[in-house]
Chain A
Amino acid sequence: MDVLWAVLVQPFVDMVSAPDFLLQVLWDGFVGGVLYALIALGFVLIFKASGIFNFAQGIMVVFAALTLVGLYALGMPAWVALGLTLVVMFVLAVAVERLVLRPLVNQPDIILFMATIGLTYFLIGLGEFVFGGEPKVMITEALGLPTGMREWEVFGGVVFFQEIDIAAAAIAIVMVVGIGVFFHYTRIGRALRAVADDHQAALSVGISLEQIWVIVWFTAGVVALATGIMWGARSDVSFALQIIALKALPVLILGGFTSIPGAIVGGLIIGIGEKLGEIYWGPLIGGGIESWLAYVIALVFLLFRPQGLFGERIIERV
């Protein structure tokens, strides 16, 4: 009885009795969710256009952030470093297309998936070799991003908002809208959607797969850079982020592998859900449940709705 009470009732009592704290938890979860959504967005872009589950998205985030910090450390102005990082991400996109994707066209999904894990290992090695393995501090101020803290007195308490988090949410929204507009209203966007639907058909009407893939991987690289800056500003730029990027997987499951709005909503659900779980239910079983809660949320969800949030019902055919 006590157990049931502790699991089913007490957490909600806690929530209601301290609404300011609940709001703080929700906000933290929301910010975490935005970052998950950004990582998931990178996955979705690549999955849509090439059907590849790009495991390397996580390390691309780290790599982009490391490059930015590393270039700045060489003494160049922040905006030059930013521009050069974009160039590096473009070169990476071209290299991936040339050296990995093109030779592996038409291989089964799992092979391509493994190739991106190989790419991950390569980038880890390269990143550590060039920049060293120790965590670094993101150059938040040099980039002109706000670093202050805002307080909001509400419900008889105070809720804290990091300005960088607000900026992160704003940038994320701008980026999602930008990508959405790009997908819907430009010639390349239309080609992208065509490729996403059917490679062969797209080829047959004269769309260049190579070009599209470079664009998509570059876009994913830009998304990765933005994610890296935001994440780096919150904690450090370190290789640990690479494992956190795996959280994008449950996000994708909730939202569907090909839906950009799905990535956003899924990211927020996972972000907020795991924060709530950790704070209110975590102590019951010893804490630290953030490491697996996201997967379990996704799993439970899948059991009831295998097609994801926005997917249509799957009818199996023979």
Chain B
Amino acid sequence: MFYREAGQFKTSYRADMAVFPILQDRIGLGVILFVAVVLVPLLGDDFFLNTIMIPFLIMALATIGLNILTGYAGQLSLGAGGFMGAGAYACYKLTTYFPDTNILILVLASGLVSAAIGIVFGLPSLRIKGFYLAVATLAAQFFLEWCFIRIPWLYNSNASGAIEVPGRTGFGVMLTGPSASPEARYFAVLGLVALLTWIASNLVHGRIGRSWMMIRDMDIAAELIGVRPLRAKLSAFAVSSFYLGVAGAMMVFFWLGAAEPSSFSINLSFLILFMTIIGGLGSLVGSFFGAAFIFILPVLIRAAPRTFGIDVAADAVQHLTYMIIGALIIVFLIVEPHGLARLWQVGKQKLRTWPFPY
């Protein structure tokens, strides 16, 4: 009824090639941005910002990162957690060396470090594919984790072996450390995530994104059309690791406030992979859905017994959470293997033709 493109004629290729060609989508995006920028910080309390909004946005960014590699370029990776760690530790070192630089710049710069590492571990992808490549990324995961433990320089040789976020500013506002307000951190996260999502959307809609998808769908044909596999795959690894690195740095600096090597274990990699697949491979909006689903669900499950006034032991809830998530993942894959993004699309299609679907 209200979601319909009839009457919206495009008179130029530019209009037809826009990311959101339909007017209602553009309005929807505006509403979402309005909610995120104005309503959430106005109405949400600190708890809501700290435990839901900030981590959700960061996880969504990480999911976009993995989606670029696995969803768009078709290279299966089990090393997302390691690359997030690389970003976090790089940022930690950078804040040590450049204490007065704007923290946002340092976060982006640590993404570059992670990207460089990603390129190195992406090199084997030129010769190996599929599950075989998963081993290369596992090597990255375990090797990086090992570095976080064994190289004292990375955590400034402090006794605990963990990294503790110092207070740093950006644009004159305290953004990290214990004295930074949740609102300030929220806006920092929101700004970076929005910016990077916009760039990711630009990339996947252009030549580079197409070359990734070509490699994913039919690498031989792509090569014979003139895509250089080396460039396409390594650029996917680089961009993906950049996003993961930035997400990792943000996770430590704007959310957790401290981290140890086990924060970036293989479990984190799987978590991000779940978000990517449940959200939908090769979909940016799906990355947000996936992150919301996988991240917010356990929070709800944990809160559920309290709400209903049932007294369950904390570790039993933890175990049940595992079981429920495991079962839900399987159910989800059976019901909609293409993820939430596909459901979203089908829903939009239904709405478009409603109330006369035939």
Contact = CB atoms under 8 A, between A and B. Distances in A.
A207 to B, nearest CB: 24
Top 10 A-B residue pairs of the complex, sorted by shortest distance between their CB atoms: A125-B322, A122-B326, A121-B326, A118-B329, A125-B323, A295-B139, A292-B142, A129-B319, A103-B334, A118-B330
Nearest to B218: A318
A74 B334 CA distance: 37
24 contacts: A111-B333, A117-B270, A118-B325, A118-B329, A122-B323, A122-B327, A125-B321, A125-B323, A125-B326, A128-B315, A128-B322, A246-B138, A257-B131, A286-B150, A289-B146, A291-B145, A292-B142, A295-B139, A296-B139, A302-B127, A303-B128, A318-B220, A318-B221, A318-B224
Given A246-B266, A296-B143, A100 B319 contact: no
Interface in B306-358: 315-316, 318-330, 333-334, 337
Q: How large is the interface on B (under 10, 10 to 19, 20 to 34, 35 or more residues)?
A: 35 or more
A166 interface: no
- Give the one of A121, A243, A318 with max B CB within 10 A: A121
A133 interface: yes
B259 interface: no
A249 B134 contact: yes
A118 B326 CA distance: 4
A124 B326 contact: yes
B327 A295 contact: no
Interface string B153-177: 0000000000000000000000000
B277 A288 contact: no
B34 interface: no
B323 to A, nearest CB: 3
Interface in A128-177: 128-129, 133
A129 B330 contact: no
Interface string A259-294: 000000000000000000000000001111101100
A46 interface: no
A133 B329 contact: no
A192 B326 CA distance: 29
A129 B323 contact: yes
A60 to B, nearest CB: 14
Contacts of B273: 114, 117
Contacts of B41: none
B310 to A, nearest CB: 16
Interface string A20-51: 00000000000000000000000000000000
Contact of A114 (B132, B136, B146, B333): B333
Contact of B124 (A121, A124, A291, A303): A303
Contact of B146 (A118, A129, A250, A288): A288
A291 B127 contact: no
Contacts of A306: 127-128, 132
Contacts of A121: 322-323, 325-326, 329
Nearest to B270: A117
Contacts of B322: 121-122, 124-125, 128
Contacts of A249: 131, 134-135, 138
B337 A302 contact: no
Contacts of A253: 132, 135
